[in-house]
Structure 1
Amino acid sequence: MSERYDSSEMMTVTAARALHNGQSCFVGIGLPSEAANLARLTHAPDVVLIYESGTLQTKPEVLPLSIGDGELCETALTTVSVPEMFRYWVQGGQIDVGFLGAAQVDKYANLNTTLIGDYTQPKVRLPGGGGAPEMATCTGEIFITLKHSKRTFVDAADFITTVGFGRDGTARDNVPNIGRGPTRIITDLCVMQPDTQTKELTVTSLHPGVTRAQVEEATGWAIRFAADLGETPEPDDHELEVLRDLKARTEKHHSEA
């Protein structure tokens, strides 16, 4: 990785660049919030940020600590109830892009946030699905942002909390009124996308300085690489400046609160 930026900044900038001006985006806390707001503050000023708590067209000056952060309501065009958020906005197909994370992602982009191990005697119980299953079903497309490791990228998820493309890649075939599902997985090593035919996750872009061997070592299945494998563009100075200023404002704001 370059001395100009770290792997987290590489992930954030890459995720931000995937958003387009005018899109409606369902935002999560953490890296997705960083990426969405970076996009809004740079190349996509008219991206519409929507948080799970019901805040629409949110324009926070600092990054929220949670979906209940007052900064979101204070800077939103309006706020609706959570039932309306999911019934009308999410299930009604009003959102173009949603960001998700998970404890496990398998080769067909299925997400596990329920448990690790056997269902009847799990090693670890996780928080559960929340709104992720509805998002993956009804949102136009899903971006997944995660650190890359064999612990997270597994051959088959222990439990499918949120369907990507099912156990064999066919879960979305011939299903009407359903979103495209995961279209892009952004990690600290690479960008993956589902193969157009099999839906198996395939590396389409390596981050600068990352090798195929590093990705293979960090993936729990025999990962494939696109024939036209590219290199992810590096963050530019302006993106890094805006991102770092945003994070510095956020740290200062929350330390004084």
Structure 2
Amino acid sequence: MSRFSATEMMTIAAARALTNDDVVFVGIGAPSAACNLARLTHAPDITLIYESGTIGTKPDVLPLSIGDGELCETAVTTVSVPEMFRYWLQGGRISVGFLGGAQIDRFGNINTTVIGDYHTPKIRLPGGGGAPEIASSCQKVFITMKQSLRGFVDKIDFYTSFGHGEGGDHRKRLGITTQGPMLLVTDLAVWEPDPIRKEFTVTSLHPGVTRDAVQATVGWTVAFADSVTETPPPTTEELDVLRALHARTDAAHGKKEKAA
């Protein structure tokens, strides 16, 4: 078995969740790496969509932002941002929204707006962009983030992207008909929401990771599934393709783009 990093395991495990039939609204960073890895390996017919309006894009390198020319140059077509959101996203034509975040809670609510009080924040983050609409309008949402006490918090400082709210049927009570966050892949584990409570629950630990290691990086008492499996380690093909993708990206962007 080839040696691999925790970040590589996270990206590969997230990529495996995608299929040829998916139409995916892709976030920049770790979600972009996972989605393009899926496209370059087991899901060559997947349709990747970025917020700037690029549909069916097949970038050779990972984009620095949604406005990266690589996305438009390799897309099947590019539409206006209003059309992207109104027709494609709000029209229910996107199966998976793939997001990251600065903070997340046990119900998959995401903060990318501020750390601390909104009016006097400790840190002003990039903001929501299209993430709030993605979280409510895509059929389901996948999230990928590295675990840390700073990021996995009992209560997020700001609701940028609504997950399962307070849990249970909160989305339904608000009139949101999509499934919401259905998968969380981290550098340590794979999480899925409890069918009833909607609290994210660890269903798989990455190779060599213990339950204590997961709990040590989370600001709430972690729920573990009745049967926790071990995430299959990366294959040689998955590692080779992912590393080649990052190498091309580093060469194209002067090493500004790093593995997320």
CA distance in 2, matches of 1:211, 1:87: 44
Tell me the TM-score normalized by structure 2: 0.93
CA distance in 2, matches of 1:184, 1:209: 21
Query: 1:127 Cα deviation (Å)?
Result: 2.1
- Which structure 1 segments of 5+ residues have no match? none
- Which structure 2 segments of 5+ residues have no match? 256-260
- Of 93-102 and 172-181, deviating more is 172-181
Q: Does 1:208 align with 2:202?
A: no
Paired AA for residue 113 in structure 1: T
The aligned residue for residue 73 of structure 1 is 72
The aligned residue for residue 229 of structure 1 is 228
CA distance in 2, matches of 1:32, 1:142: 11
Q: 1:243 to 1:197 in 2, by over 3 A?
A: same
Identity score, percent? 61
Q: Are the counterparts in 2 of residues 26 and 51 from structure 1 also a CA contact under 8 Å?
A: yes
The aligned residue for residue 129 of structure 2 is 130
Q: Secondary structure at the match of 1:215?
A: helix
Q: 1:168 to 1:180 in 2, by over 3 A?
A: closer
CA distance in 2, matches of 1:217, 1:128: 28
Which residues of 2 match residues 1-257 of structure 1 at below 5 A?
4-174=3-173, 176=175, 178-255=177-254
- Of 242-251 and 147-156, deviating more is 242-251
Tell me the TM-score normalized by structure 1: 0.94
Query: 1:179 Cα deviation (Å)?
Result: 1.5
Q: Secondary structure at the match of 2:172?
A: coil
Q: Secondary structure at the match of 1:71?
A: helix
Q: Secondary structure at the match of 2:208?
A: coil
CA RMSD of aligned residues (A): 1.6
CA distance in 1, matches of 2:162, 2:219: 19
- Of 186-195 and 60-69, deviating more is 60-69
- Of 2-11 and 156-165, deviating more is 2-11
How many aligned positions are there? 255
